[in-house]
Structure 1
């Protein structure tokens, strides 16, 4: 099974797009994630939704808005929009702390790292 991140942007429009993807694919949602990472003593959130494969397709997409949400008080509008959409869909997001993507030389290495963490914690299916 191919497990791949599909990166959306960091802005409000991208967050709304991710929420709408979740709504339209409600029956396909495997899990939703809120990743927290740290760079230069500033924490950021990434949000993601993993969808089950369609029929017998061998593709497991994970849509992500990477590191565009600062960790501030009160909760940022973009994060609360995502949390409200998940609450509406009755999906509880899994929260994990991960390394910041700037730690890695290449973005693909970062995504392999995150997929490894998700597999290790049995949050996404193993390779078949």
Structure 2
């Protein structure tokens, strides 16, 4: 099983693409996440992400993310929460380290995958 983040952007216009992916792939939905963190300047920021089960005979678990560009209590967060509630689920909220602390984005995504696996929010690698 291969689990990987696919970054759509920083949560500006790309969050609407994430919402469309959520509505059109609701039958594959695993979990939705809101990651709380801070920017380099110390401002609070959120990332939103959605994990889907593998499609067809694939062993690939995609996790689409809009990374650290959303302010808390913004309209975009409310839209994300409402879209997840429409399919009968609630986003999982987690406090995480900011991505600027990592030398590479791939290392940051590996850190997040480790947290999600440890908490059983992603299926085991079988």
Q: TM-score band, normalised by the shorter chain?
A: over 0.9
What's the counterpart of residue 32 of structure 1?
32
What's the counterpart of residue 47 of structure 1?
48
Q: Is the 8 A contact 2:32 2:90 kept in 1?
A: yes
What's the counterpart of residue 62 of structure 1?
63
Structure 1 gaps, min length 5: none
Does the alignment pair 1:98 with 2:96? Answer: yes
**1:55 to partner: Cα distance:** 2.3
Alpha-carbon distance in structure 2 between the residues aligned to 1:14 and 1:98: 21
**1:67 to partner: Cα distance:** 0.3
What's the counterpart of residue 76 of structure 1?
74
Alpha-carbon distance in structure 2 between the residues aligned to 1:19 and 1:95: 17
Provide the aligned C-alpha RMSD in A. 1.1
SS of equivalent residue, structure 1 residue 12: coil
Alpha-carbon distance in structure 2 between the residues aligned to 1:36 and 1:113: 14
Alpha-carbon distance in structure 2 between the residues aligned to 1:12 and 1:88: 21
- How many pairs are equivalent? 125
Q: Is the 8 A contact 2:12 2:70 kept in 1?
A: no
**1:41 to partner: Cα distance:** 2.7
**2:83 aligned to which of 82, 85, 90:** 85
Alpha-carbon distance in structure 2 between the residues aligned to 1:125 and 1:84: 25
**1:11 to partner: Cα distance:** 4.2
Compared CA separation, residues 45 and 58, structure 1 to 2 (3 A) = same
Q: TM-score, normalised by structure 1?
A: 0.93
**1:116 aligned to which of 108, 114, 117:** 114
What's the counterpart of residue 14 of structure 1?
14
